[in-house]
Amino acid sequence: MHRICVIPGDGVGPEVIASARAVLDNLDVPLRYEETVVGTPSFEKYGVYITKETLSLATESDAIFFGALTTPKRRDYVSPLLLLRWNLELYANVRPSFCLNPAFCLVPLDIVIVRENTEGLYGAAERELENNAVLTERIVSEAACQRIIDFAFDYAKKNNRGKVTCVHKANVLRTSDEMFKKLFYGTAVNYAFYNKIRSDDVLVDAAAMYMCREPGRFDVIVTLNLYGDILSDEAGGLIGGLGFCPSANIGKKNALFEPVHGSAPDIAGKDAANPTGMILSAAMMLDYLGMPEKSSLIRESVRKCFANKNNWTKDVGGECGTGEFTKRLIKIIDEKAAIS
């Protein structure tokens, strides 16, 4: 039995978590859930955004299953999600984006963005200078760059992906991003020789354009923290919206699974959230826990569900609310499971 720490969060978080839990419960997978709160609900109850108890529970669990959390407009706020990523050293943020139906995708994208998750501008030190200026310092270390590059090539190898692209801004950031690029090619050589994995590099601004104009040139992308965050939202937009995008945050001992989207307060409580990103995050969690047949069953069923326009969610012009979509998906999963 695997111990799962569940953090539904707020906004659409609890709605998409309920949907994904229904899918998992129906699959009869050996998971035991322990639910907890972070963020504003935790602050109101305990005076801190994340308690020591929650941090211990997250650390001791086999996986963390995270919905979404609203960012309060307080200067002293530190995101519990960032605290979890740093404390548990969840250094690799894996964000697949693939088109489920060309009818609602702008381009036929099928990529995986592997984003460095512990450094860069997240948690950067900022201080005010004279003349109303602000100095922002970011850290880019050789160790963290090498670690994420190794992860990306290893991911490509294990998932039969033929190419890894390094996305950077080394023409401007000539020391930090140049180091990232050099380390990338130092590693790429080995994978080209032993695993026939191709490699290239693209400036981040050009990558944003190529993703729209020539989506087929990308397979796995490895990149630094902020570039990965921005490009993965762009990728989401190209495949129908943020509701379609899952993610995994992987460390040496822990892992956290969450959709790429935020708490979407504009649609919260309206049964309008597309739960696909959360459901595909559940599939990534099953892969991580060693249940690849179950995760494939989920992915294939999601694909089959969106092949029929009657099952489309509201964000792509369909009529299915979160609950109705979940019911229809579970029916498809059951049918597929019965055949195989």
Residues that bind ligand ATP (CB under 6 A): 11-12, 16, 68, 70-71, 241-243, 261-267, 273-274, 277, 315
Residue 335 CB, shortest distance to ligand ATP, in Å, is 25
Q: What is the spatial distance between Cα 176 and Cα 119, in angstroms, rounded to a whole number? A: 12
To the nearest whole angstrom, how small is the minimum distance from the Cβ of residue 154 to ligand ATP? 29
Query: Which of 229, 287, 294, 315 is flagged as catalytic?
Result: 229
The closest of 51, 47, 44, 40 to 5, measured between CA atoms, is 51
Buried b (16+ CB within 10 A) or exposed e, 307-336: eeeebbbbbbebebbbeebbebbbebbeee
Structure tokens at 110: 């099928």
Amino acid at 177: D
Whether 205 is a known active-site residue: answer yes
Nearer to ligand ATP, 95 or 147 (CB): 95
Pairing of strands 255-259, 246-250: antiparallel
Query: Is-catalytic flag, 49?
Result: no
* Tokens coding 322: 């979160």
Q: Are residues 160 and 292 in contact, defined by beta-carbon separation less than 8 angstroms?
A: no
Structure tokens of 125? 């030190």
Q: What is the DSSP letter of 281?
A: H
Instruction: Give min distance, CB of 227 to ligand ATP, in A.
Output: 18
- Given 169, 181, 294, 314, the catalytic residue: 169
CA atoms of 305 and 311, how far apart (whole Å):
6
205, 270, 309, 327: the active-site residue: 205
Q: Which residues of 239-249 are buried (b: 16+ CB within 10 A; e: fewer)?
A: bbbbbbbbbbb
- Residue least distant from ligand ATP (Cβ): 262
* Choice among 33, 46, 122, 288 that is catalytic: 122
Report strand pairing: 134-139 vs 120-128.
antiparallel
Is 233 noted as a catalytic residue in this protein? Answer: yes
- What residues are annotated to the active site? 122, 169, 205, 229, 233
